[in-house]
């Protein structure tokens, strides 16, 4: 075996860099799932009756559902009764960041995402979700001046119940799939944003998620509404501490764009992926869907997925409004025993609708990386267009890359294009960079970031830098 090959293997096996955990007193509901669990959560959150009803209905449906079997991996043995459905830091309803547990702040500092730094550097309003309850929100005042509502989901339920009631579950119904149903029944907290008519949100909205409490599943709920002619860019990033138990993360994200509105939603996902043998990683089963509801509305999903033992998600767009457009830009990196089954669905309903899919898979170690996409052109979607490009990069020869593109074309005036490539990092490329004084690790990082550039370019600047670092770190052999 040549030196480069050895190195590639070493890179492919390096351990998770952010594997540490904080010790904060949490109030944990004992494991188990039944009506009482749901009532407990709803009561804890002081929710109105209609929301409790919504949860109970979802639970009822959930209990009738079976685990799906179409995915390209063996479904993990999940016992929903073994999971604790509520965990909250003991101190609650903090008025300012000063009251946040210093240890929590330290954790964020370790991750290089301290709130202060974030606030100062980039004018990002940060709504931190730590375990299940939001503990800090910033820039709210400034946003309120222009009528933008940006708060935790729980706060939205208290302060803007009419908006929540109007839109909750309209894009992802509680009956949509097993995990959407589970989320609807037991969702903990999450983020809510409403951008009023004609407002261009002047700053990137951002939330950092982090799983921390032992054995507590996390069920985030995000709802974003961009009213007519508005614009918003939303950033979501997360990284989680090392853990031995498998943790289920089943979030639901719903985006709604009215006439002439635009939503950009960017994610950097770095949950704990498990150890070299895949033990203890997060199961990231997320339902993300947007509706481009109005004429000329625009939705753009960008994701950089490097974490989780299993990632299973398809951020999708329903192109309902005429001339609406949907985009999906994705980099998914898997190594060791990680599995990613990700992609998108573009459902063309309106006339002249456009969608664009750029998917870049990077597989190393013994990992499996699948792209699964659906482009569905309905009969009313005349003159619609889709372009899909789906690339796979293999590092080493023990990993797998798979693509499952599905196309449903229902009219003759539409054009659907699909391109796919598979490549390897050639030893010649690494040697070329070596010969210019660049060591193997940096060479691999450079090649990978070049490969992913088209997607990274879609991220807001400060996020792009972070994401590029994350790709490099994820392939960094010196970390142990």
Q: Would you tell me which residues interact with another protein (CB under 8 A)?
A: 2-4, 426-429, 431-440, 442, 446-447, 449-454
Give 11 or 375: the residue with its C-beta nearer to another protein: 11
Residue 319 exposure: Cα atoms within 13 Å on the Cβ side = 36
Q: For residue 47, give both structure tokens.
A: 């929710």
Q: How far is the CB of 421 from another protein (least distance, A)?
A: 10
Q: Is 434 exposed, middle or buried (0-12, 13-18, 19+ CB in 10 A)?
A: middle
Q: How far is the CB of 357 from another protein (least distance, A)?
A: 18
Q: How far is the CB of 437 from another protein (least distance, A)?
A: 4
Q: Are 263 and 255 in contact (CB under 8 A)?
A: yes
Q: How far is the CB of 270 from another protein (least distance, A)?
A: 22
Outline where DSSP puts E strands in 35-94.
Answer: 87-89
CA 350 to CA 411: how far, in whole Å?
Answer: 12
Give 90 or 436: the residue with its C-beta nearer to another protein: 436
Q: How far is the CB of 126 from another protein (least distance, A)?
A: 29
Q: Are 319 and 356 in contact (CB under 8 A)?
A: no
Q: How far is the CB of 467 from another protein (least distance, A)?
A: 14
Q: How far is the CB of 8 from another protein (least distance, A)?
A: 12
Q: How far is the CB of 15 from another protein (least distance, A)?
A: 24
- Bridge partner residues of 266 (DSSP): 235, 302
CA 20 to chain centre: 21
Give 193 or 448: the residue with its C-beta nearer to another protein: 448
Give 102 or 437: the residue with its C-beta nearer to another protein: 437
Q: Are 348 and 322 in contact (CB under 8 A)?
A: no
Q: For residue 418, give both structure tokens.
A: 């699909």
CA 118 to CA 213: how far, in whole Å?
Answer: 24
Give 33 or 357: the residue with its C-beta nearer to another protein: 357
Q: How far is the CB of 3 from another protein (least distance, A)?
A: 5
Give 38 or 443: the residue with its C-beta nearer to another protein: 443
Contacts of 227 (CB under 8 A, 6+ apart): 194, 195, 196, 197, 199, 258, 261
Give 412 or 435: the residue with its C-beta nearer to another protein: 435
Give 82 or 462: the residue with its C-beta nearer to another protein: 462
Contacts of 255 (CB under 8 A, 6+ apart): 171, 224, 225, 226, 263, 265, 288, 289, 290, 291, 299
Give 341 or 466: the residue with its C-beta nearer to another protein: 466
Residue 389 φ/ψ, nearest 5 degrees:
-130, 130
Contacts of 86 (CB under 8 A, 6+ apart): 27, 28, 29, 37, 40, 41, 44, 132, 186, 188, 216
Cα angle for residues 165, 166, 167 (degrees, 5° grid):
95
């Amino acid at each position: 075996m040549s030196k480069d090959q050895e190195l590639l293997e070493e890179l492919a096996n390096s351990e998770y860099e952010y594997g540490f955990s904080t010790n904060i007193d949490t109030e944990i509901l004992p494991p188990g799932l039944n009506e009482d669990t749901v009532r407990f959560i709803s009561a804890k959150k002081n929710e109105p009756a209609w929301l409790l009803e919504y949860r109970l209905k979802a639970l009822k449906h959930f209990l009738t559902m079976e685990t799906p079997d179409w995915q390209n991996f063996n479904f993990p043995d999940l016992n929903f009764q073994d999971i604790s459905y509520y965990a909250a830091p003991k101190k609650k309803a903090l008025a300012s960041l000063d009251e946040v547990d210093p240890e929590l702040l330290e954790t964020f500092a370790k991750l290089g995402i301290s709130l202060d730094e974030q606030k100062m550097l980039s004018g990002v309003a940060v709504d931190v979700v730590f375990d299940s309850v939001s503990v800090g929100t910033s820039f709210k005042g400034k946003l309120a001046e222009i009528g933008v509502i940006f708060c935790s989901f729980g706060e939205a339920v208290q302060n803007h119940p009419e908006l929540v009631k109007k839109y909750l579950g309209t894009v992802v119904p509680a009956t949509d799939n097993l995990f959407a149903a589970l989320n609807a029944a037991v969702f903990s907290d999450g983020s809510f944003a409403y951008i009023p008519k004609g407002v261009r949100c002047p700053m990137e909205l951002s939330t950092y998620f982090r799983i921390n409490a032992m054995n507590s599943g996390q069920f985030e709920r995000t709802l974003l509404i961009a009213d007519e002619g508005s614009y918003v860019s939303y950033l979501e990033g997360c990284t989680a501490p090392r853990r031995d138990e498998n943790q289920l993360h089943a979030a639901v994200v719903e985006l709604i764009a009215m006439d002439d509105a635009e939503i950009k939603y960017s994610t950097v996902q770095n949950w704990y992926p498990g150890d070299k043998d895949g033990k203890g990683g997060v199961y990231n089963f997320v339902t993300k869907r947007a509706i481009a509801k109005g004429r000329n509305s625009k939705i753009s999903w960008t994701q950089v997925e490097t974490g989780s033992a299993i990632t299973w998600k398809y951020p999708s767009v329903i192109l309902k409004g005429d001339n609406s457009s949907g985009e999906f830009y994705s980099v998914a990196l898997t190594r060791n025993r990680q599995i990613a089954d990700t992609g998108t669905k573009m459902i063309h309903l309106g006339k002249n609708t456009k969608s664009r899919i750029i998917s870049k898979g990077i597989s190393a170690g013994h990992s499996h990386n699948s792209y699964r996409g659906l482009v569905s052109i309905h009969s009313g979607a005349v003159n619609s267009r889709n372009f899909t490009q789906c690339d796979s990069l293999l590092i080493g020869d023990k990993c797998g890359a798979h693509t499952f593109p599905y196309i449903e074309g229902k009219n003759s005036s539409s054009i659907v294009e699909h391109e796919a490539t598979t490549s390897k990092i050639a030893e010649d490329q690494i040697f070329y960079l070596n010969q210019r004084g660049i060591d193997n690790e940096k060479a691999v990082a450079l090649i990978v970031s070049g490969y992913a550039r088209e997607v990274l370019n879609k991220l807001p600047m400060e996020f792009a830098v972070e994401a590029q670092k994350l790709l490099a770190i994820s392939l960094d052999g010196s970390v142990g």
